[in-house]
Amino acid sequence: MSAEKFQQYQNQKIMTASPAMLVFMLYEKAIGCLKEAIVSIEAGKIETRWKANKRAMEIVEHLQMTLNTEQGGEVAANLDAIYGYVLRELPRVDLKNDPAPAREAVRLLEPLCESWRQIAHQGDGTGMPAVGAAEGPRSVKAARPAPPTRAAERRAQPHEAQRNGKERAVAPATPHGRLTITA
């Protein structure tokens, strides 16, 4: 399969995915990038490590910025704390060429990824649990990223990885309000 055909397939997969499947795909991509950063450190590939870690941070930042804290309650607050911790720790991957923060981030994100995988594959094909399912629609709604809210905008402060005092732009949303996932 040519690179162009593969990219078309990936784009179609993203455009037709349910909201729950998109969140699952974001977690998968972030974890994959973190694992790539770890392997790159071990192989001495500094640029590859930097690019992979940067992409993982952009994805986690997007997940944090799109949390619906008004409807999410305790679930959203817990996710916000996890994302904040990960975003504070990941700059050490680049600053110290240290794989430990990436490993810790993978350890924290993998259970969330698995939960979203289960949510994305159950129910009526929309990625939402069927009415009466054990988790219930509320738990999904609580954790599902939504368009940025005022609370999310207030959290949009530069983190330690920023250099030269310039603010780091949050990855722009696509026309569908989602972070673009590339292979």
In the chain, which residues have pLDDT < 50? 129-183
98: helix, strand or coil? coil
Q: Residue ranges of the domains in the chain? A: 18-151
Helix axes 69-89, 100-120, angle to 10 degrees: 150
Report if pTM > 0.75: no
Query: Per-residue pLDDT tens for 64-81?
Result: 999 998 899 999 999 999
Report H helices in 121-166.
136-143, 150-155
Contact 146, 67 (CB under 8 A): yes
Give domain 18-151's CATH superfamily. Answer: Flagellar protein FliS (1.20.120.340)
What Cα–Cα distance (Å) separates residue 40 from each residue in 32, 79, 87, 115, 123? 12, 28, 19, 28, 39
Number of helices and strands in the chain (H, E) = 8, 0
Query: Per-residue pLDDT tens for 20-41?
Result: 999 999 999 999 999 999 999 9
Helix axes 136-143, 69-89, angle to 10 degrees: 50
Q: Tokens at residue 91, please?
A: 């700059």
E strand or H helix that includes residue 72 = helix 69-89
Question: CA-to-CA distance for 59 and 132, rounded, in angstroms?
Answer: 32
Contact 56, 37 (CB under 8 A): yes
E strand or H helix that includes residue 29 = helix 19-43
Please give the pLDDT value at position 181. Answer: 46
Please give the pLDDT value at position 126. Answer: 53
